[in-house]
Amino acid sequence: MNAKRVKFENISKVFVTDKNRQVKAVNNINLDIQPGEFVCLLGPSGCGKTTTLRMLAGFEVPTDGHIFIGDENIERLTPDKRDTAMVFQNYALFPHMNVFDNIAYGLKLQKLPKEEVEARVEKILHLMKMEEFAERVPSQMSGGQQQRVSLARALVMEPGVLLFDEPLSNLDAKLRLHMRDEIRKLQQEVGITSIYVTHDQSEAMGLSDKVVIMKDGVIEQVGSPTEIYQKPANSFVANFIGRANILEAVIKEVGEDGYTIDVHGVPYSVEKSKEYQLGDKVEIVVRPEAIEVSEEGNFTAKVGKSMFMGAHHEYEVNFFGKPLEISLNNPKNKSMVAVDESLRFSLDAASIHIL
């Protein structure tokens, strides 16, 4: 497949509502997606991710900026000329056509020879292990199966860019996990550039090469799932992805590539993320699982909540007047501490990230 690069340059979209009110859905975003990359646009409801995808597909016109697919500036092209194909949340299959005809539809519109249409549809049916469904109409299939047809219908067009608009949100949790793995496997097999809108962080983390975190029409951070989790750019990202404790600290020493920080009287050596001066007050992110419970710990705090969750144990302790979440993996009975008792712990210096 001819995977394409996608580039958004200073893209904004302002909607004008019936009452003549302006809504800035997307506010000057820049994004560079490499050929073959799987990128998720992730953010809370209303952050502008669907509008961004729809501008790329050609269903919305940007108010400002430029969009490129490959080297081509595509703003003036109609959706069918853009070398994209979209997988929708509601499948959008033709109810009266069987699976074969649903998949063949776009190719027939292109007036390709009958033999070529048949060969390409059969190839996709085989790739997706769906040959046995070819004769069925959508009402004879489950939601998951219908969504696979909708994916097949997009893939058969061999587009340069594949777009997904929350494709799994109508499926139950188990099927969602299964389809997520299937989409990723298929995407890697065909190597197609893919852009996927979701508000489900585990979906984004599990699928993406790159995650784009959006809020209020603005990109807050672009990075691999590991970068986003371990080095969040700000407290919004830290709290949006997984759980985060945000603590105060003071810069005590400035080294070549690290700092010594003081966290409530305890020194920690941490990596440099931004430039700070001696004495600056900073915020640090410590994930609940990056807190080590041990008899030799630096801190003692009173337990406010203590919950056994099977594979891990969750505590909430009172840390200098604020709640601190601690998650202990593989808990043993002896390590469990009850509410109102004291817990000793340290922060794992290697996992501390300065915001």
CB 237 → ligand ATP: shortest distance, Å? Answer: 16
Quick check: 23 binds ligand ATP (CB under 6 A)?
Answer: yes
Near ligand ATP by CB under 6 A, which window of 30-38, 49-57, 174-182, 261-269? 49-57
| Contacts (CB under 6 A) with ligand ATP, residues 217-276 | none
Q: Which stretch binds ligand ATP (CB under 6 A): 39-47, 139-147, 175-183, 343-351?
A: 39-47
Q: How far is CA 185 from CA 38, 84, 132, 192, in A?
A: 11, 20, 21, 11
138 binds ligand ATP (CB under 6 A): no
Q: d(Cα 61, Cα 17) in Å, to the nearest integer?
A: 15
46 near ligand ATP, rule: CB under 6 A? yes
What is the distance, to the nearest Å, from the Cα of residue 156 to the centroid of all Cα atoms in its chain? 25
| Separation CA 314–CA 308 (nearest Å) | 6
Q: Residue 51, interface with ligand ATP (CB under 6 A)?
A: yes
Q: Is 94 in the site for ligand ATP (CB under 6 A)?
A: no
Q: Verify binding: residue 50, ligand ATP, rule CB under 6 A.
A: yes
DSSP letter assigned to residue 171: S
Number of Cβ within a 10 Å radius of residue 85? 22
Which of residues 17 and 20 has its CB atom nearest to ligand ATP in the complex?
17
Q: Residue from 17, 78, 277, 329 that binds ligand ATP (CB under 6 A)?
A: 17
Residue 45 makes contact with ligand ATP by CB under 6 A = yes
Nearer to ligand ATP, 48 or 58 (CB): 48
**47 part of the interface to ligand ATP, by CB under 6 A:** yes
Task: Count interface residues toward ligand ATP (CB under 6 A).
Answer: 13
Q: Which stretch binds ligand ATP (CB under 6 A): 48-56, 256-264, 276-284, 312-320?
A: 48-56
Q: In terms of DSSP H, where are the helices of the chain?
A: 49-57, 99-109, 114-127, 143-155, 173-190, 201-207, 225-230, 235-240
What is the four-CA torsion angle of 320, 322, 323, 328, rounded to 10 degrees? -30
Does 61 bind ligand ATP (CB under 6 A)? Our answer is no
Measured from the CB of residue 38, what is the shortest distance to ligand ATP in angstroms? 19
C-alpha 33: how far from chain center: 14
Residue tagged 């998720």 (tokens): 40
The least distance separating ligand ATP from the CB of residue 22, rounded to whole angstroms, comes to 9
| Distance (Å, whole) CA 212 – CA 316 | 30
Question: Does position 20 bind ligand ATP by CB under 6 A?
Answer: no
Please tell me whether residue 25 binds ligand ATP under the rule CB under 6 A.
yes
- 199 binding ligand ATP? (CB under 6 A): yes
Residue whose entry in the numeric block shows the structure tokens 């909607």: 15
Q: How far is the CB of 58 from ligand ATP (least distance, A)?
A: 15
Contact between 15 and ligand ATP per CB under 6 A: yes
Would you say 15 or 320 has its CB closer to ligand ATP? 15
Residue 313 binds to ligand ATP (criterion: CB under 6 A) = no
Angstrom distance (rounded) from CA 2 to CA 5: 10
Per-position DSSP letters for 63-122, written without gaps between them: SEEEEEETTEE-TTS-GGGSSEEEE-TT----TTS-HHHHHHHHHHHTT--HHHHHHHHH
| Whole-number Å distance between alpha carbons of 246 and 144 | 39
Q: Which residues bind ligand ATP (CB under 6 A)?
A: 15, 17, 23, 25, 43, 45-51, 199
